[in-house]
Structure 1
Amino acid sequence: MRLPRDNSLPLRQTLHAQPMPTVIELFLQVVDASPDAVAICSDKEKYTYRDLECWTRDIAVHLRSCGIKSGDVVGIVGTGSKSVAAFLGALRSGCVVLPLDPSTSEGKQKELLQIAEATAKITSIDKKNLDIEFIDATAGKSTLNYYPGQSEEIENNISGIDTAQGKDPAYIIFTSGSTGSPKGILGLHMGLSHFTIWQRDTFGIGLGDRVGQLANWSFEVLLREIFTPLISGATVCLPDDQVLNAENVFRFSRRHHLTVLHVVPSLVRHWLGRKNIDHRIPTTRITFFAGEPLHSELITSWRSKVAASTIVNLYGPTETTLAKFHYV
């Protein structure tokens, strides 16, 4: 189907109308307006926007104190709330983030870190620490001992954080493209802000919305699952299960009353093909499909088995920052 021209996201008009705030600035605006709203949660954890601001500020300061500079590339292995906080904290410190999925082998992670010329890799090592491993073996490791709500606020020299501008790089996502070899796509802050603002405003995402973080951390979908809710006052809901099979996905979605989902057609087809499980997610009001062709029979099946939600089909290569076209 050929999309109408007006379904192209209004990038040029938006960017030239006024300076584009970064996702950090937008997040801090939510902190000021709704500090007690829940920012991220799982079955075992829950953190408010105030908690997350303190947590990410400490991470940003710690990265700076370790000698990591603005513009340095930092890999972050996705392992729940700590990784979300580390992503935000690294951006606040001016770093460029390379998301890494925990299912990716150590060898492959090392290859991607080398291609990206990363300075360090951040991993979660337990419930109270973040482990920062420097790529230069002579620099060793550094551990940040901090857990929001369980430690006193510490005084730090916080100069140099929250200074990123729209033209500055924010993240690297790797795609094999047509060659089969890893190809790093460098995304700017203004591109990330442009999409997340558009998604928030176009679909009315805000306080009370609950967005599932289901995507593999190596895929760009992760960016809209995390940052659209965090600039909107919504809640990012994180599964505790490392492997989300069909039954776990629907149980998790019902348990957390998800209102917004991002999915891939082939994965949805697999989920819906599973027999003898409850597919219903009655709270879901918007479902964003992307990454593959979307056919009418799958839409009909989703609406009849899962939720009578608004269906949005997004299209755009990684190079265009998350999506370029949409069809409702």
Structure 2
Amino acid sequence: MNRRMDNVLEFLEESAAKYPDKAVFADETQEITYREFVRRARRMATGLAKRCPPRSPVAVLGEKSVETVTAFFACVYAGCFYVPLNPLHPEERRKQILKTLGDPRILVQKGCVSLIPSGISDAILFDEAEEEEDAALLADIRQNHADTDPLYVLFTSGSTGEPKGIAVAHRSVLDFIDKFTDIFEIGAEEIIGNQAPFDFDVSVKDIYSTISAGATMQIIPKQKFSFPTILIDYLIERKITTLIWAVSALCILSSYRAFSYKVPADVKKVLFSGEVMPIRQLNEWKKYLPEATFVNLYGPTEITCNCTYYKLEKGEFTGDTLPIGRPFPNERVFLLGDDGTLVKDKNVTGEICVAGSALSLGYYNNEEETAKAFVRNPLVGAYCETMYRTGDLGYYDGQGELCFVGRRDFQIKHMGHRIELNEIESAILAVGGVERAVCLFDQRRDKIWALTQGAAESGEIASRLREKLPPFMVPQKYIAVEKFPLTENGKINRRLLREEYGI
């Protein structure tokens, strides 16, 4: 029986004991071994622990780099929890995050000092935090640690316009990563290619899978994703074997036919999440990497990365809908109807709800929003079990696989009918020549807009949709988009599309 771990640092230290001279993290200009990484993190933690009490937030402002990951683990060794501040975000967002956190200590990379919001002087440079390691101090902090202590807070957009900070505990990450690396056979031989920014929870899978398995993580510079052939060269040069990417990042390569340039043959695992994967793009990847394992992952940040997965069989995927599959072993995923009853029947839509040890601690300093989403499970009457209401809709298909329908807030009322915009998008993506598609509802004009990327003409798309969809679901407006704008997390930026086209 494996010994129960209580702190993610045990992942790191066990791997460091096995592979002290192996590279754990690397970016475009440097790499660091497990031994040196632990040494640097503990030295930085010593200086940080003298300034910040345990269980307090530390905002980390740095580029995607080896240095910034080191700063995250320095926070953990100091008994604190880290909050990544994305240097590419506007100053106003950083201010909002710091306000929510209660104006915490800021740990900042030297090159990002100019990005510290105005009026804030309580910042420490990465290098300034380093001191001679105080082993006794760090041991005392560790002794008083609980596995329910926060590990990190990641901020996502909030419905009120204020970003919401999702606090995740050590226990949740330990349980999730333990199952994640086991199910997908992520071992010490892996070279994980990190695509996601550090304030996006996809990067949590990269970082903690790496240290748990004794693997190596290559941090891919953001600018590489603007040049598909250069990105392909980087994957090949760094011998990357595992991609845990957002769907839009994968589509950059398949949409622009990058594999006709070169194929990154070392890639053996492709795990994707964040949006619905277009079937045509998926099959483009599968055609050029026929022996690779492909996995569709689903789950919001609030439940620690993912709660379900669907492993695809080899060969072309011929279905119309890609399932999100089965729950991870430490999580229970179920559907609830509008009346709070369990949905078991096939092809009946319900809200996806999650319970289990992967649930986050809720929204930081936001009791009202936490109470709305983290509620008592109505199916359990004898005791109080907390569940998370995802706001996503799903159903079980003919094979009993869970399938994603869309967001509750993507559900519209048009011409007297309740319509899922995702269903229209799926129908558009089935039209030959369409690479990506987004549907938006113009409530003022009571019109559905279809925005598409690819060679298909709007007339052809409309004609095909009229053959497949009822009239009230066929969009009234069509726009050809050369390239969809993306959020920092790699999802299609629907807000910018609305602003650009006045929807």
Asked if TM exceeds 0.5, the reply is yes
Once the two structures are overlaid, the 10-residue window that deviates more, 164-173 or 50-59, is 164-173
Contact 1:21 1:166 in 2 (8 A): yes
Contact 2:96 2:163 in 1 (8 A): no
Q: Aligned partners of 1:241 and 1:203: how far apart in 2?
A: 26
CA RMSD of the aligned region, Å?
A: 3.0
- For 2:30, the equivalent position in structure 1 comes to 45
Q: Aligned partners of 2:69 and 2:285: how far apart in 1?
A: 29
Contact 2:42 2:133 in 1 (8 A): no
* SS, match of residue 145 in structure 1: helix
Alignment of 1:163-242 (within 5 A): 163=143, 164-240=145-221, 242=223
Question: What is the number of equivalent residue pairs in this alignment?
Answer: 305
Q: Deviations over 1:247-299 (max 9, x none)?
A: 33322211111111112223322332225663521111111111112243322
Bigger relative contact order, structure 1 or 2, given CA contacts below 8 A and separation 6+? 1
Distance 1:88 1:280, change over 3 A: same
Query: What amino acid does structure 1 have at the position aligned with 2:151?
Result: A
Query: What amino acid does structure 2 have at the position aligned with 1:52?
Result: F
Alignment of 1:123-202 (within 5 A): 123-125=108-110, 140-145=122-127, 154-159=132-137, 160-163=140-143, 164-202=145-183
Contact 2:44 2:126 in 1 (8 A): yes
Query: What amino acid does structure 1 have at the position aligned with 2:302?
Result: E
Cα offset, 1:306, TM superposition = 5.1
Distance 1:233 1:109, change over 3 A: same
Distance 1:147 1:34, change over 3 A: farther
Once the two structures are overlaid, the 10-residue window that deviates more, 301-310 or 26-35, is 301-310
1:113 equivalent in alignment to 2:98: yes
Q: Aligned partners of 2:224 and 2:160: how far apart in 1?
A: 29
What's the % identity of the aligned pairs? 24
- For 1:88, the equivalent position in structure 2 comes to 73
Q: Aligned partners of 1:64 and 1:74: how far apart in 2?
A: 11
After superposing on structure 2, the runs of 4+ consecutive aligned residues of structure 1 that deviate more than 6 Å are 133-139
- For 2:83, the equivalent position in structure 1 comes to 98
* SS, match of residue 314 in structure 1: strand
Q: Aligned partners of 2:125 and 2:285: how far apart in 1?
A: 45
Q: Aligned partners of 1:136 and 1:70: how far apart in 2?
A: 27
- For 1:7, the equivalent position in structure 2 comes to none
Query: What amino acid does structure 1 have at the position aligned with 2:81?
Result: V
Contact 2:192 2:218 in 1 (8 A): yes
Structure 1 unaligned runs (5+)? 1-13
- For 1:68, the equivalent position in structure 2 comes to 52
Q: Aligned partners of 1:290 and 1:240: how far apart in 2?
A: 20
1:301 equivalent in alignment to 2:284: yes
Q: Deviations over 1:55-82 (max 9, x none)?
A: 10011111012x2111111111242010
Q: Aligned partners of 2:182 and 2:98: how far apart in 1?
A: 35
Q: Deviations over 1:204-244 (max 9, x none)?
A: 21222111111022211111111110121000112345553
Query: What amino acid does structure 1 have at the position aligned with 2:247?
Result: P
Contact 1:61 1:161 in 2 (8 A): no
Q: Aligned partners of 2:96 and 2:148: how far apart in 1?
A: 27
- For 1:6, the equivalent position in structure 2 comes to none
* SS, match of residue 58 in structure 2: strand
* SS, match of residue 71 in structure 1: coil
- For 2:306, the equivalent position in structure 1 comes to 323
Q: Aligned partners of 1:237 and 1:143: how far apart in 2?
A: 24
- For 1:4, the equivalent position in structure 2 comes to none
Distance 1:219 1:310, change over 3 A: same
Q: Aligned partners of 1:177 and 1:122: how far apart in 2?
A: 25
Query: What amino acid does structure 2 have at the position aligned with 1:165?
Result: A
- For 1:9, the equivalent position in structure 2 comes to none
Alignment of 1:18-33 (within 5 A): 19-33=4-18
Contact 2:187 2:215 in 1 (8 A): yes
Larger Rg: 2
Distance 1:122 1:140, change over 3 A: closer
Query: What amino acid does structure 1 have at the position aligned with 2:132?
Result: I
- For 1:313, the equivalent position in structure 2 comes to 296
Q: Aligned partners of 2:200 and 2:213: how far apart in 1?
A: 22
Alignment of 1:254-269 (within 5 A): 254-269=236-251
Cα offset, 1:24, TM superposition = 0.9
Normalised to the residue count of structure 2, the TM-score between the two structures is 0.55
Once the two structures are overlaid, the 10-residue window that deviates more, 68-77 or 304-313, is 304-313
